[in-house]
């Protein structure tokens, strides 16, 4: 009888260990989600590391070190996109890490609600700045003639906040155009934990 009890206890312990290992594996393979808190509301963004591994890793590195906290959405163009991730409320640009390779040929489209990397005319120049598409922007997609802009995730909650950004009055600040006249501040960006 005691032996049977020990076997049952051993089996129970093994099942618990396997279950914990399975949950740990699920945590590591789960699609990352970032919560972006702004003074207009929160945005929840699901990331696609299987489609844009370099871009997602780069974005999460900025998130994890708190780089985006206190930055603003500095460029807002209604019916096009909202851009952020590089300037503080005084329109001072923050120092960023080295540029990354452009992963725009990953078959993800610049659809409404997707998040993509901002860059210069050099396709491989993206650093910390990103934008959220307010509509389908097919002209920003990769093609044989267009290096495109790398989509790496999508807003899964809080698109009403993004739409509210597009309603804010904008103007010129120094040499920058389409700047919200009242700063739209990212108060905190962090990974959602399970």
Domain ranges of the chain: 1-30, 31-191
How many Å apart are CA 116 and CA 111, to the nearest integer?
10
Summarize pLDDT for 168-189 with one digit per residue, the tens.
999 999 899 999 999 999 999 9
Predicted confidence (pLDDT) per residue in 12-56, tens digit: 444 444 444 444 444 455 899 999 999 999 999 999 999 999 999
- 31-191 to CATH, choices 2.60.120.310, 2.40.100.10, 3.50.50.60, 2.60.40.3880: 2.40.100.10
Q: What is the pLDDT of residues 95-114, one digit of tens each?
A: 999 999 999 999 999 999 99
DSSP label of 79: T
Interval 127-137: pLDDT, tens: 999 999 999 99
Cβ–Cβ < 8 Å for 73, 88: no
The greatest distance separating any two alpha carbons of the chain, rounded to the nearest whole angstrom, comes to 84
User: Which pTM was predicted?
Assistant: 0.85
Partners of residue 40 on adjacent β-strands = none
């Amino acid at each position: 009888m005691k032996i049977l009890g020990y076997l049952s206890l051993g089996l129970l312990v093994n099942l618990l260990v396997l279950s914990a290992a399975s949950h740990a594996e699920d945590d590591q393979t789960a699609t990352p989600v970032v919560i972006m808190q702004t003074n207009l509301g929160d945005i929840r963004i699901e990331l696609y590391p299987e489609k844009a591994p370099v871009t997602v890793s780069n974005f999460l590195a900025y998130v994890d070190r708190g780089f985006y906290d206190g930055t603003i959405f500095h460029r807002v163009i209604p019916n096009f996109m909202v851009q952020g991730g590089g300037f503080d409320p005084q329109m001072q640009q923050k120092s960023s890490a080295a540029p990354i390779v452009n992963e725009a040929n990953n078959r993800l489209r610049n659809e409404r609600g997707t998040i993509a990397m901002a860059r210069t005319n050099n396709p491989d120049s993206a650093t910390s700045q990103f934008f959220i598409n307010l509509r389908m922007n097919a002209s920003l997609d990769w093609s044989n003639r267009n290096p495109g802009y790398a989509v790496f995730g999508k807003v899964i909650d809080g698109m009403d906040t993004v739409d509210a950004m597009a309603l804010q009055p904008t103007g010129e600040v120094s040499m920058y155009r389409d700047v919200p006249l009242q700063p739209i501040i990212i108060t905190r960006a962090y990974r959602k934990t399970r």
